Amino acid sequence: MKTEREKFLTDVEFKKLLVVAERDERAFMLFWVGGVLGLRVSEAINLSRTCFKRLSAGLVDVPTLKQKGHPVKPVAVDKQTRELFAEYLAKMPKEQFFLFENDLNPINRKTAHRLFKKYAKLAGLNKAYSFHALRHYRGCKMWKATKDLKFCSSQLRHSQMATTEKYVHMDEREAVKMAEKVGV
């Protein structure tokens, strides 16, 4: 079982990862969707042009592979992310359907994991991190910004609130601050 330290990237570590991946636009965008949208690797590699039809409204429709009857779930995105995706989509060749592909097919999970490991090593990150650490990073960022577990759960597309609770990481300083707010 991984320790807390092996699950949660810091802001500094996430930025280091993006900096070393800047020259490889596909890797950069893959890490962005993992760390800023909180996508699972299987969701990230299946993103297609059609997922971005509502981008101007601030939404990306993420393909869900597990839930029948709900083929996509919307994820809200900020202005910077909307602009980044609009630019990336404009550069994509017209025949390219998937955001991350090789020979007109989506890249596979193994390729995504290999890209993450390669750039994580270049960034000097903990060897125990996996692509999934990006999802934990997003969960922590949302929790710290909102303290709204229901919002975090919906954005991470969790069906159980207990699952979301595993993604939010509260350090001891935060716990003390919250205890002070609650008081007697």
- Count the Cβ atoms, other than its own, within 10 Å of residue 123: 18
- Please name the residues in contact with 108: beta carbons below 8 A apart, sequence gap of 6 or more: 45
Distance in angstroms (rounded) separating the CA atoms of residues 168 and 163: 10
Full residue range of the structural domain in which residue 78 is found: 4-182
* CATH code, domain carrying 77: 1.10.443.10
pTM (predicted TM-score): 0.84
- Count the Cβ atoms, other than its own, within 10 Å of residue 100: 21
| Structural domain total, the chain | 1
Side chain identity at residue 137, one-letter code: Y
pLDDT tens, the chain, 184 aa long: 445 555 678 899 999 999 999 999 999 999 999 999 999 899 999 999 999 999 999 999 998 876 556 678 899 999 999 999 999 999 998 888 999 987 767 899 999 999 999 999 999 998 889 999 998 888 888 888 888 888 888 888 878 878 777 777 666 677 677 778 887 6
Q: Which of 71, 21, 69 is nearest to 46 (CA)?
A: 71
